[in-house]
Amino acid sequence: MEDFRRLDLRNLSGHFLKAARLLGFVVFGLLLAAPVSAQQSTPPKDAKSELKASLGDLLTLYQNEVQRLEKHQQQSKELYEDGLISRLEFEKGEKELAAARAKVESVNKEIALANQPAPALLATPDAGFAAPSNLAWTTGSNRIDGLIRQYGTQYGVDPYLIYCLMSQESSFIAGATSLKGAQGLMQLMPDTAARYGVTNPYDIAQNIKGGTRYLKDLLLMFNGRVDLALAGYNAGEGAVMKYGNTIPPYDETRNYVRLILKRYGRKLAS
The 10s digit of each residue's pLDDT in 129-188 is 445 566 789 999 999 999 999 999 999 999 999 999 999 999 999 999 999 999 999 999
Active-site entry in 50, 78, 91, 169: 169
Nearest of 34, 37, 54, 57 to residue 45 by alpha carbon: 54
pLDDT(41) > 80: no
Please tell me whether residue 177 adopts helix, strand or coil conformation: strand
Q: Which residue has the higher pLDDT, 215 or 38?
A: 215
Phi/psi at 46 (5° precision): -100, 175
Whole-angstrom CA distances from 98 to 65, 69, 102, 237, 242 are 11, 9, 6, 24, 25
Contacts of 246 (CB under 8 A, 6+ apart): 122, 228, 240
Phi/psi at 197 (5° precision): 70, 25
According to DSSP, the residues that pair with 188 across neighbouring strands are 183
Mean pLDDT, residues 250-266 taken together: 91
pLDDT(17) > 60: no
Contacts of 197 (CB under 8 A, 6+ apart): 210
Contact between 263 and 230 (Cβ < 8 Å): no
Instruction: Fill in the amino acid letter for 239.
Output: A
Nearest of 232, 213, 252 to residue 50 by alpha carbon: 213
Q: Does residue 2 carry a catalytic annotation?
A: no
Q: For 53-81, how does the pLDDT look when each residue is reduced to its tens digit (9 = 90+)?
A: 777 887 888 899 989 999 999 999 899 88
Neighbours of 259 (CB within 10 A): 14
Type and span of the H or E element at 97 = helix 87-114
Q: Which residue has the higher pLDDT, 16 or 169?
A: 169
Task: Report the pLDDT value the prediction gives residue 33, as an integer from 0 to 100.
Answer: 45
Task: Report the pLDDT value the prediction gives residue 27, as an integer from 0 to 100.
Answer: 43
**What is the full DSSP assignment across 27-39?**
HHHHHHHHHHHHH
Task: Report the pLDDT value the prediction gives residue 107, as an integer from 0 to 100.
Answer: 72
Type and span of the H or E element at 141 = none
Task: Report the pLDDT value the prediction gives residue 116, as an integer from 0 to 100.
Answer: 64
Q: What is the spatial distance between Cα 165 and Cα 30, in angstroms, rounded to a whole number?
A: 50
Instruction: Fill in the amino acid letter for 157.
Output: V
Task: Report the pLDDT value the prediction gives residue 121, as an integer from 0 to 100.
Answer: 38
Band of residue 35 on the pLDDT scale cut at 50, 70, 90: very low
- pTM beyond 0.85: the answer is no
